Amino acid sequence: MCGIVGHVGSEQAAPVLIDGLRRLEYRGYDSAGVAVHVEGGDVKVVRAVGKLRNLEAQLGAAPLVGTVGIGHTRWATHGRPSEVNAHPHVAGPIVVVHNGIIENHLALRARLEERGAKIASDTDTELVAHLVAFKVQEGLDLEGAVRAALRELHGAYAIAVLSKSEPDRIVVAKSSSPLVIGLGEGVTYCGSDVPALLPYTRRMIFLEDGDMAVLTRAGASVTRIETGERADRAEKIIDWSAVMAEKAGFKHFMLKEIHEQPRAIEDTLRGRLDRENADIHGHEIGLTEADATSVTRVVLLACGTSHHAAMTGRYYLEQLAKIPTTVELASEFRGRDPIVGPGDLVIAVSQSGETLDTLMAAREAKDKGAKILAIANVIGSAIPRLAHAAFYTHAGPEIGVASTKCFTTQLANLLMLAIWLGRRRGTLDAAGARELVEGLAKIPVQMRDVVIGTRQLVGNLAKRYRDARDVLFLGRGLSFPIALEGALKLKEISYVHAEGYAAGEMKHGPIALIDSQVPVIVLMPKDRWYERTFSNLQEAMAREGQMISVATEGDDAAHRLTQDVVEIASVPEPLTPFLTVLPLQLYAYYVADFKGTDVDQPRNLAKTVTVE
């Protein structure tokens, strides 16, 4: 999705803008541009299609000299990727960058054209620039003009605006799209995401929906768009260091993030495991002891990889806390008038905390009276802000578009939540809880062993099967969401067709896909589903599939029956997904790397999906 960076300070703006945009590349984009106040009361704009290096080449040939500017990476929504559609957009003295969608753009375009606006691009953003320019013509200053314009816009947006006649400021605003302000000494920044600003400052202000702010070298003054009233937004100190957002010697962010998972889980568990009492310190969960016993149903909302974590969470909540639980694709939840309300605990699971589908679904559930708990990785993001409570994962910044460490940390939070609820509801005894709490404490080391111990074998398998046309992932029970996740990872970064299937469902259709050319990856840890998965494995073998198993160490039958066995340690059943997913992430990574695809920024995908 689009990325925004802004700088108002005393150093040159353009290098900071480019650096910030580079840190937002992971969000996905197809063109980029910057605008800088230059000497003589003008604002110069440079835009280029494709990667940032194209923009940099233009800036290298004709540098923009000035200390106040805005930059943007565009992920096309209205109009194809082209220079004319790239941001910033200019109308008279006004220059705008924008992330999101203006829903009333058709009516707005007609109105602006009637007033004589010459609109050059297909974008909704240029309309915002013209609207603000008309407000300036009517005598308003930049802040007043932006405020008046925004009151006429519907939709989800984050914007940053410059005016040629007010060279010391940037006006920003947000509604349902992410925007963060960074504070420094004599310098103020804005960005779509924390990592864009981390090398410059850790002092951040997170705007609320409906906020706008004027950024000057002295700081940020935040007001409400509708009322113009001052809004005091507390400054937060972000403890992610910029180094955590670098590749640290790995070829790609995704590979680094796969290897970081043991550390990410340790950070996520820190301070939350109550080993003495075989319990979880659950104050962040935002439920009272009475809430824990009175909740009648849990609804999990999520998209993509987070949806697979949520599916695993359903097993945890049903098995350990005995609460009826449903899992919903957030994008399918809205619009069907879902039956949800008081008594329901709705858990919105999202790495970014900004996914619009999940945000809107959670908002609908909240409006209907449900209690909302967010499980998110980005502190202060939109979903935690909307929720009654936020139980954060502490994976650190995830830069690769393919989610890895955020997935396993989501599993950790869901399992901790189920243990906490199970203890309070009397459905999980102390011995059962102790096994899980101790199992969680040990899991980072076992994860490290799987990543380090299997990566060579998995790399060899990826090399052998990199040209396979289809790949099938099978699993039952807790391994079913992991099979889905293995297939999603492979599809999104290597563009190989892959299916994840409940192993027992295979005979009802996808078995037709299997022949001697098709790798079939069967997840078969020693769990309650093992025997039945074993039967499904034999069905696939009988169709001459290329069988690979992910099995518990010492499983002789797996070694006898499958060509290749990727071994994981024996762990308590609920913890198996923490291990089985790791070789699948590695497999997807190595296939993509052999194919030479853009692993960290796969085609057509965005890290944070802020459109519905």
Min CB(353)–ligand M6R separation in Å:
7
Residue 559 to residue 537: CA distance in whole angstroms: 12
Min CB(406)–ligand M6R separation in Å:
7
The residues binding ligand M6R (CB under 6 A) are 303-306, 350-352, 355, 358, 401-403, 492, 605, 609
Min CB(410)–ligand M6R separation in Å:
8
Min CB(16)–ligand M6R separation in Å:
26
**Judged by CB, which is closer to ligand M6R: 306, or 446?**
306
Instruction: Indicate left, alpha or beta for 103 from its phi (over 0: left) and psi (-120 to 50: alpha).
Output: alpha
Residue 100 to residue 81: CA distance in whole angstroms: 15
Of the CA atoms within 13 Å of residue 298, those in its CB half-sphere come to 29
Bridge partner list, 98: 159
**Contact between 94 and 127 (Cβ < 8 Å):** no
**Judged by CB, which is closer to ligand M6R: 149, or 484?**
484
CA nearest to 179, candidates 154, 148, 144, 211: 211
**Judged by CB, which is closer to ligand M6R: 93, or 400?**
400
- With tokens 């600003």, the residue in question is 197
Min CB(577)–ligand M6R separation in Å:
16
Phi, psi values for residue 34, rounded to 5° = -135, 155
DSSP state of 352: S
**Judged by CB, which is closer to ligand M6R: 312, or 351?**
351
Min CB(500)–ligand M6R separation in Å:
13
Bridge partner list, 72: 4, 33
Compute CA distances 75 → 6, 21, 118, 195, 305, whole Å: 18, 13, 24, 18, 21
**Judged by CB, which is closer to ligand M6R: 223, or 610?**
610
Bridge partner list, 46: 34
Compute CA distances 182 → 69, 200, 215, 217, 238, whole Å: 14, 8, 10, 11, 10
Min CB(3)–ligand M6R separation in Å:
15
**Judged by CB, which is closer to ligand M6R: 131, or 411?**
411
- With tokens 């797996």, the residue in question is 558
Q: Which residues are catalytic?
A: 2, 607
What token pair was written down for 451? 């990543």
Residue 219 to residue 187: CA distance in whole angstroms: 7
Residue 20 to residue 235: CA distance in whole angstroms: 20
**Judged by CB, which is closer to ligand M6R: 68, or 302?**
302
Residue 570 to residue 186: CA distance in whole angstroms: 56
What string of H, E and C letters represents the secondary structure of 530-582? HHHHHHHHHHHHHCCCEEEEEEECCCHHHHHHCCEEEEECCCCHHHHHHHHHH
